[in-house]
Amino acid sequence: MAFVIFTLYGIILIFLQIFLLRELIPIFHGNEFVVGIIIFHWLFAVGVLNYIYPRIKKSKNTAVSIIKLLFVLIAFIIFSFLFIRSINLINVTDITRGVSLKTAFLYSFIAIFPVSFISNLVLNYFKIYISSIVYKKKIKRYIYEAFGFVIGGVLFSCFMSSLSTSMIISIIICLICVNFIFLFRAAANKAAVLLIMAVIMILTVKFDKDIEKISILNNYGGNDIIDVSYFGNQQNILTEKNGEFYFYSNGTNDFSLPSQNIFEDEDFAHLPILHHEDPKNILLIGGVKYLSSIVKYDFIEIDYIESNKKIVDVISRHIPKLENVFKDKRLKIYNDDARNFLLNNSAKYDVILIGLDLPINTEINKFYTEEFFKIAVDKLTDDGFMALKLPGSMVYSPSLMAELNSSVYNSLKNVFQYVQIIPGKENIFIASKSHMPFRKDIKRRLKNVQDETFVLSKYYVDERMDTQKTQWLDSQIKEERNLNLVNTDENQKAVIFSIMYWQSTFSPYLMKFFRVVTEYSYFLVFIAVILFFFIKFKYTVTAFVSGASAMWLQMVCFWAFQIYVGQIYQWFGLLTSIFMAGLIAGALYSKYSHKAVALNKTFFSSEILYLLWIIAYIIIVRYHVLNVYSLVVLSLGTGFITGLEFAQLIKIFAIMKEGDSNTQIFSSDAFGGCFASCAGGAFIIPVWGIEKSLLFILFLKFLIFTWWHYHKKHGL
């Protein structure tokens, strides 16, 4: 019974985390910060619960208390769902344009904290209900729950990522209802629970689409919701208002018809192509809105790569005007990650267009890095061109905009011999191995397609490519303070500058503060040293750093997975499962490996192993061997060492109590995970880069190592 209940509850917990992740992704516009923020709020609630749990008055009838709490949990889950989808009304803003990070942080706390607190409180009550708290039962409960995480993560990533959110909520509620079957004694009550579960699933299947459209309406300004779908655990929405269509992926507008930015769209669809004398093969990465312009050229083949296959599917079904574009025999559509496609494809292209928007997250940014440019340059013909776009200004260039453009420009210059910038509301970067054409050549080629365009003419080209404007922008980008800014996979300068530039329109003062904190973030090292030497409870600090180290390394895996594999939101559950599988193995090894060695010395050995493991991370990052296989090994190994160390900490805390009870270790471990997910995953890892962030957690672990080295001679 204990195995079934705790395993089932582990499945419920991972499903809840992924459900909250999915719903909050659009609020953060797909930025990976959402992973760190959600885990922070979740673990903060766990830490608070474990801290106050010994002070909570226990009920005499534990089963009744659990039943009441489960009903409260269901209510909070429904509340969180409706609350997130009503943020537009509550905040009186348009989430499609974005909300400030402080607002998103606050609202995500309101949505997550109650669900996490109550769900973990139920778990603690289940421990009392099933058996008295003794050491062996505690370890088993810990392992059973982790086993549930493994099962739930695999199930969700492999089979449930395309289900609607309303269906996922119904599944979670039904799994919660299964607990009632164990708690109710009367057969009639159990039968009633089964009946309720059946009714919930039938109603959800029947009204699934209606629930999605009605609930999502709040966040899309009263537009008619034409279609709501999910792919890779990401939300796709097509809306219509007065004959105007808008397609949103993760809250950002990927496509609109008629286009609100027709000038910029035509510029990017035509000007880079006109640089080539006779282009035959073109590759478009993202940017479905450019296809209708590109097909006007006399190409032999057009390869379009779109990792989100729902975009083409939804647009082609609901917008008849674009039906002929997708039926063009020259057009080949690939639903794949563009980097993997290029690495595994031997084709050469005359023009490669990066049709993606502002690199506000890692998913987009990996096509603006030096590493990607090295891949792309080998896929161009000798006279081929590659183009991308970034935010620009015709009259004034804010420092953030200049830094963003500089970081990508410098990365391009490190790979391509020639880089040209066409200034405007959107700066177009064109890179090539060969010389750039003269403006007169571009205007000559324009004659062939000018009748098919809305705005392009030879006079417009002269204005757009004016020499003085180009020289002015060039001077802004090449300022001395910007010369060392390079955007790479592991040090994503463009992501940080994009977020700061985007957020400056909502919270200019917050962004100024964020810039100061970013520039002086290395003071965290001194703060860590000061706190370490002044905190009295070293065993509690050990638990804190243990939780921080585990979560920090896992956050590195999440970020690296998004860079080198992609679709982290779909595979988040699977990566968590891999970590938890390692955790189970480590805990079992510690439990059943009986060695006549003092606990202090055993834990000291574990600390050495952890230090070596972090060093292995750094070596793998330094020599660029991160891939799906190495990340699986790293996540599994991190789980194993964490499980091994945590099981030993439980033994030590049973002997050397610090605080009111042994729940102190769980609270400290959770708060350590909070620190790593927020300070690490949502700040230091993207700001410092992966390698430097690993050095920081290595330093924290080394402080703990020195303390245990000093005390290892005192056996326990």
Q: Yes or no: say if 259 and 266 are a contact pair by the CB < 8 Å rule.
A: no
Give me the mean pLDDT over the 395-414 stretch: 86
pLDDT at residue 219 tops 80: no
Instruction: List the structure tokens of 62.
Output: 């534990």
Per-residue pLDDT, 133 = 43
pLDDT at residue 660 tops 70: no
Q: Within 10 Å of residue 664's Cβ, how many Cβ atoms? A: 20
DSSP letters for 247-283: EEETTEEEEEES-TTHHHHHHHHHHHHHTSSS--EEE
Q: Given pLDDT bands bounded at 50, 70 and 90, which one contains residue 174?
A: very high
Q: Within 10 Å of residue 187's Cβ, how many Cβ atoms? A: 8
User: In angstroms, rounded to a whole number, what is the distance separating the alpha carbons of residues 619 and 477?
Assistant: 33
pLDDT at residue 670 tops 90: yes
Q: Given pLDDT bands bounded at 50, 70 and 90, which one contains residue 658?
A: low
Question: pLDDT (tens digit, 9 = 90+) per residue, 546-576?
Answer: 999 999 999 999 999 998 888 899 999 999 9
- Main-chain phi, psi angles of 39, to 5 degrees: -65, -35
Mean pLDDT, the chain, rounded, equals 87
Q: Given pLDDT bands bounded at 50, 70 and 90, which one contains residue 134?
A: very low
Per-residue pLDDT, 712 = 59
Winning range, highest mean pLDDT, from 8-12, 322-326, 590-594, 650-654: 8-12
Per-residue pLDDT, 606 = 85
pLDDT at residue 92 tops 50: yes
User: In angstroms, rounded to a whole number, what is the distance separating the alpha carbons of residues 529 and 538?
Assistant: 13
Give me the mean pLDDT over the 596-613 stretch: 80
Q: Which residues have CB under 8 Å from 96's CB, separation 6+?
A: 219, 220, 221, 246, 248, 251, 252, 253
Per-residue pLDDT, 366 = 93
Per-residue pLDDT, 265 = 85
Q: Given pLDDT bands bounded at 50, 70 and 90, which one contains residue 619?
A: very high
Q: Given pLDDT bands bounded at 50, 70 and 90, which one contains residue 38?
A: very high
Instruction: List the structure tokens of 186.
Output: 């009367």
**For residue 502, which of 155, 216, 43, 99 has the smallest C-alpha distance?**
99
Give me the mean pLDDT over the 173-190 stretch: 93
Per-residue pLDDT, 657 = 57
Q: Which residues have CB under 8 Å from 213's CB, separation 6+?
A: 225, 228
Per-residue pLDDT, 714 = 54
Per-residue pLDDT, 395 = 58
Q: Which residues have CB under 8 Å from 606's CB, separation 6+?
A: 641, 644, 645, 648
The dihedral through the CA atoms of 512, 518, 520, 524 has a sign that is: positive
Q: Which residues have CB under 8 Å from 193's CB, separation 6+?
A: 177, 178, 180, 181, 184
pLDDT at residue 387 tops 80: yes
Residue 228 gets which letter from DSSP? E
pLDDT at residue 396 tops 90: no
Winning range, highest mean pLDDT, from 208-217, 404-413, 623-632: 404-413
Per-residue pLDDT, 300 = 86
Q: Given pLDDT bands bounded at 50, 70 and 90, which one contains residue 100?
A: confident
pLDDT at residue 135 tops 50: no
More confident residue, 483 or 280: 280
pLDDT at residue 535 tops 80: no
DSSP letters for 590-619: HHH----S-HHHHHHHHHHHHHHHHHHHHH
pLDDT at residue 523 tops 50: yes
Q: Yes or no: say if 369 and 404 are a contact pair by the CB < 8 Å rule.
A: no
Question: pLDDT (tens digit, 9 = 90+) per residue, 421-453?
Answer: 999 889 999 999 988 999 999 988 888 887 778
Give me the mean pLDDT over the 280-306 stretch: 91
Long-range Cβ pairs for the range 536-539 (8 Å, 24+): 537/658, 537/659, 538/707, 539/649, 539/652, 539/653, 539/656, 539/658, 539/665
pLDDT at residue 82 tops 60: yes
3-state DSSP call for residue 285?
A: strand
Per-residue pLDDT, 221 = 66
Per-residue pLDDT, 137 = 47
